[in-house]
Amino acid sequence: MDFFISNAYAQDAGSQSSLLSFLPLIVIFAVFYFMLIRPQMKRSKEHRQLVSQLSKGDEVITNGGLLGRITNVSDSFVTLELADNIIIKLQRQAVANVMPKGTIKSA
């Protein structure tokens, strides 16, 4: 009857190196960095550059989806003309994108 039951041997705990045990964690961090963190940092840098280059006369879209022309630029705020006699003031960071000139006329 002994030939049907195999002997179980304990694995030696010190046989794996510590580097191999951390390898999956290192791979997961690398994937997160290149797939999530790095692209987000790049988008953030591009948005900071876009906001710093805003000037009077630019046609922009806000984060809320409003399309207008910048009439005044200050350190923290921009004044946006949405239509005739409709002017709003919003933070510079709320500008999502600068549109090509003539976008308001074609819309």
Tell me the pLDDT tens digit for each residue of 10-50. 555 555 677 788 889 999 999 999 999 999 999 999 999 99
- 11 located within any domain: no
Q: What range does the domain containing 69 cover?
A: 55-106
DSSP readout, 1-52? Answer: -GGGSPPP-PPPGGGS-HHHHHHHHHHHHHHHIIIIIHHHHHHHHHHHHHHH
- 21 located within any domain: yes
Contact yes or no for 59/103 (Cβ under 8 A): yes
Tokens 């806000």 found at: 62
Domain count, the chain: 2
- 73 located within any domain: yes
Question: Stretch 71-96: mean pLDDT, rounded?
Answer: 95
The set of residues, in sequence order, having a beta carbon less than 8 Å from that of 33 and lying 6+ positions away, is none
- 4 located within any domain: no
Specify the higher pLDDT residue, 2 or 57.
Answer: 57
Where residue 64 sits, what CATH number does that domain have?
2.30.30.60
Is 93 found in the same domain as 66? yes
Is 98 found in the same domain as 61? yes
- 22 located within any domain: yes
Give me the pLDDT at residue 105, please: 86
pLDDT(72) > 80: yes
pLDDT(1) > 60: no
- pLDDT band (50, 70, 90) for residue 103: confident
- 2 located within any domain: no
pTM > 0.75: no
- 8 located within any domain: no
Is 49 found in the same domain as 28? yes
